[in-house]
């Protein structure tokens, strides 16, 4: 393996720093990211309050991660598209709409998982 392709601790640290920088860009430039922050905090707090099982936490974690992942990919796509074609381009506009639609799909899926996990738990608490 040559030096450029070897896996090193320093290289992994640089990659991790780059990923954290990307997360800061996401949180600092996207209003929707703050909605995701609030929703994530609310979901975690409610899950802790209700004492979700490991399986329920797994579902909730996948749901939250899918929304964050879709939002990050959408943001990266928008930034790249704006750099490549700063002027309006109808095809890029459609591509951006599709990427935003992916976030909506993930959010709807996450909301559905949230309902399936939390509603029975809340109903059980209220029935006591």
Q: Which residues are catalytic?
A: 71
Q: Note whether 113 and 63 are within 8 A (CB).
A: yes
3-state SS string for the chain: CCCCCCCCHHHHHHHHHHHHHHHHHHHHHCHHHHHHHHHHHHHHHHHHHHCCCHHHHHHHHHHHHHHHHHHHHHHHHHHHHHHHCCCCCHHHHHHHHHHHHHHHHHHHHHHHHHHHHHHHHHHHHHHC
Of the candidates 128, 113, 111, the residue with the CA atom closest to the CA atom of residue 56: 113
């Amino acid at each position: 393996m040559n030096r450029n392709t070897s896996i090193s601790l320093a290289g992994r640290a640089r990659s991790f720093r780059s990923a954290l920088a990307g997360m800061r860009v996401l949180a600092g430039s996207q209003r929707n990211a703050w909605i995701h922050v609030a929703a994530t905090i609310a979901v975690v707090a409610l899950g802790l309050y209700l004492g979700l099982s490991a399986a329920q936490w797994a579902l909730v974690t996948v749901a939250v991660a899918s929304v964050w992942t879709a939002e990050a990919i959408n943001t990266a796509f928008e930034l790249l598209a704006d750099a490549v074609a700063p002027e309006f381009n109808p095809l890029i506009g459609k591509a951006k709409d599709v990427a935003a639609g992916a976030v909506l799909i993930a959010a709807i899926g996450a909301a559905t998982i949230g309902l399936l996990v939390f509603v029975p738990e809340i109903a059980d608490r209220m029935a006591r």
